[in-house]
Structures are given as structure tokens and as C-alpha cells.
Structure 1
Amino acid sequence: MRTEPEKVRESIGIVFQELTLDRDMTVEEILEYHGRLYSMPKSQRQARVDELLSLVELEAKRNVLTRHLSGGMKRRLEIARGLMTRPNVLFMDEPTIGLDPQTRIRIWEYVQDINRQGTTIFLTTHYMDEADQLSNYISIVDHGQIIATGKPWELKNALGQDIIYLETSDNQGASNILEGLDTVRGVRDKSKGIIVMVNVDGTHLLPEIMEKLQKRGIKIRVVNLKKPSMDDVFVHYTGRELRDTGTEKTVVVKPGGR
């Protein structure tokens, strides 16, 4: 980056979190102008514009001013612009924020298609399902520091085979009892109850847990059993929910094989 900054810029693409399209330019002009900035030959620019408009399904909007596009169309155009120079690496900063579920899924499909063609993608997102669906590797960033990295299944498996949520008449007492079981990987507090991470099939262990607590006079008010998710992974490593305010919480996702 110090000795050949121009070559570095030529090898990367970027999709910003905020839309940065010129409202007074057409869809085709946006891509054409970006190609000119990188000194692409005219013949290559036109062929690439046609290819990208087909990829993001904006052929019919070629001559439409970007001000008249929907939010989803603008986001797709931003992705096309980031790919205009065939970058080796594409950085995407929360590309699906604020989009409806159908448009998000379509963006996911584009990202996966781009990745299959050989482009490495660094994607930041607050959507844990997005991180889980798209990434080969995930890094959880908290207060500017990477605190966990791994493949999605590795991060989830680290929490155990199943997760049991309990609300009881004595959560602290329940935690003390369950932490002593060999089948329990860990216990942590959560709002009104406790989260129990177990190393075995939770459906088989749950009756034993309930029996032990009841024998100690601890009443069970709420029970929930599920497989670990990326949301659980995030909370486990950061100690807070995504909806908490006043804190930095970002997941860095790295789809790609380069």
C-alpha cells in the first residue's frame, strides 16, 4: 500500500454503507463514469456495463436517473459499480441494511455468485443470519478488537450441542447445581433467567435437569430448548444483545477463497 497505492486501489472494490450515487446520472452513466476513473478502454467499459446490468437485473433501468430507483435497485447498482473493475477483493459495509427480506435474499444471491467467480469479499453486517448464511469465516469485532474468529459451525459448536433457557424461582441456585454436571459446558445469566450450554442432546438431558432442580425445591417457570445460533455466539463473546445501545458491535464476514 505504501509503494504501489494505485495498483492496490485497482485491485479492490467497495460498497459503502450509505448510498453514494449521483442523483442526476443514469444507471448506465454511473457505471461508465466509474470505468473511466480507472482508465478502462471504451470497448471494455461497454461490455462490462452490459454484463453487470444483467447480473443485477437492471437492464430495463439503463437510462433511468438514479433518483427514480427504489432503495433495493440503488443498492444493486452500488454493488455493480463496486464490481466494475473486476476487483480481486470487494469490501461491503452493511449492504443490506434497511432492505426488505426479499431484496436482502437477492443481494445474498449476488454476493454468493460474485464469490463463486473468484472474488474475495469482506462484509460487515449486524444481521447474524446474514453472517451465518454467507461467510466462510466470521470475526466478531467488539470495541474495535477482534474477539473471536472461525468458521460459522466452529463458533456455534463452541457453545455446545444444544442451549437450554430456564427461568426459575432461584436462578443463582440453579446455576450452581447445573455447573457441576459433566454434560453442561457452561451457564450464564440472561435477563430473567439463565442460559445452559450442554454437550449432549438437550432433549435427553432436559428431564434430568428438571428433576435435579425440583428435588432442590427450585421451581421451573419457563423452559426453552434450541440449537446454538450466531446470535447466541455474539452474545456469548460480547456479553450483550445486538439491540443494546451505546456500544460498538460489528461482525466481519470474509466469504471467499483467495
Structure 2
Amino acid sequence: MSSGTPPHLLPPPLWQARCRACWFTLAVLALVVASFWSLDLQWAQFFSLEAARSMGRFIGEFFPPDTSPEFLRKVALGTWETLAMSALGTALAAAGGLLLALPASRLQAGERAWARTPTRGLLNLLRAVPELVWAGLLLIAAGLGPLAGTLALAAHTTGVLGRLFAEAMENAPSGPGDALRAQGVGKWRVALYATLPQVLPQLLSYTLYRWENNIRAAAVLGVVGAGGLGQLLAFHMGLFHMAKTATVLGAMLLLVGVVDGLSYGSRRWLMR
């Protein structure tokens, strides 16, 4: 580059002492280096020839998968149970998240919104507890089966969707709401007729995306006895029935792929 190039056209320097992003990046890199140094990572053993042979023998035990009609019926039932758990859990979470998002959001600049802080604290609590922990707690009250898994998904996802819904409502354009307030319309009617119609496609997109995640979570929740494909996986893997385990894993991959495709297509259609 010629020396006559104006300073404002020159690329920014890679490092500046006053650049907060530079210091943040340096701190993250230091944390990564410290993590590698402090953890006893056996990379040589992991990439050794013996480890590759052991993994090859283990994977070879999965073939051929069990395709007997009786077992396929069990897998189909578990697949439907997993799908139903994720759909119902997500629907309950969307309803609960929407109810909690209204008091958790400030819909007007300068609004006191007394319930905002405690409601956001509740949402933080709900999503801070993982689905597996919720399932373990709810198994005590609901017993083994899909009910505990469905409620666990609903509890955790309510915290996630409630926070996302609240942020979407707060960031919605205030023009339509201000016009209704000027006519003396109350807060809740403003939220219903001005705010929600603007953010509804975004709320539906968030809900569909969380449904994708809940399909995977529902498959894992069965490991603790919450029903579905996860319960079949835990049972047959525990007994080293590798052919049956391969069939269950294949059903999981197929279910996740189908739901991901449907959800992705629906979200693109909604955001047009």
C-alpha cells in the first residue's frame, strides 16, 4: 500500500492497548491455554493404534442392526413416545414462557415494571437446572415414564423461551404501542394488540428451534427412566445388546434429522 493512503482507509491494527475486544480475546486465549495445561489430556493414548483397534472392534459389534419385526415395533413406539414428549413439553413451555415473558419485560421506556426482576430470576432458575436434573427430581413425584420427561423438558424450556420472548418484546418497535397508549389503552391490551403481533413470527421461530433441541434432550432423558428411545438405549446398551442398540441409535438419528428439516423449513417460511 502506498504511503499516500489516507489514514482512515488503512486497516485497523491487530492490537491496541485501549481496545476492550483485544484484551477480552487475550483473556480467552489465556484461559484456553490454561485449560490444556491443567487437564490431564492423554492425546497420545487417544490417537494410538491400540485405541483405534479397540474402537473399531466396538463399532463392528453394532452390525448388523436388529431388524426383527417385534423389535422394530418397540423402536417405533419409543420413537413416537420421544416425539410426543418433545412436542408436548415444548408446547407447555411456549405457553408458560409467554405468560412469564409479559411481566418479565419492560414494554415502555421509563416503565417501573416491578415484576420484571423477580420474574427474570425465576426464568434464570428454570433454565439453570438441566433437563436431566429436572427429570431426576420429577421422577420422585411422577414415577418412571414419559410424564416425568415431558415435565422436565417443559420446566427447563420455559426458562429459555421466557427469556427469549421477553427480550423480543422489549426490542419490538414502540410506535404501534405508543399510538394505542395515546388513546388510553391499558398495558395488557397494548401487549396483546401491538407488541405480540409484531414479534409473533420471532416467537414461533424460537419455539421451533427449541423443539429441535428438545428432540435430542427427550432421547437422552430416557436414560434416567423417562421413557422413549433413551430408555430403550439405556436398557439394551447396559446389557451389551449391540445389534438392538444400533437400531435404536438409527431411529434417533432419523427422528432428529426429520424434525430438524421440518423445523428449519418452517422457520424460514415464517421469517419471509
TM-score class, shorter: under 0.3
Higher Cα Rg: structure 1 or 2? Answer: 2
Higher helix share: 2
- Give the TM-score of the pair, scaled to structure 1: 0.24
TM-score, length basis structure 2 = 0.23
| Greater per-residue strand proportion | 1
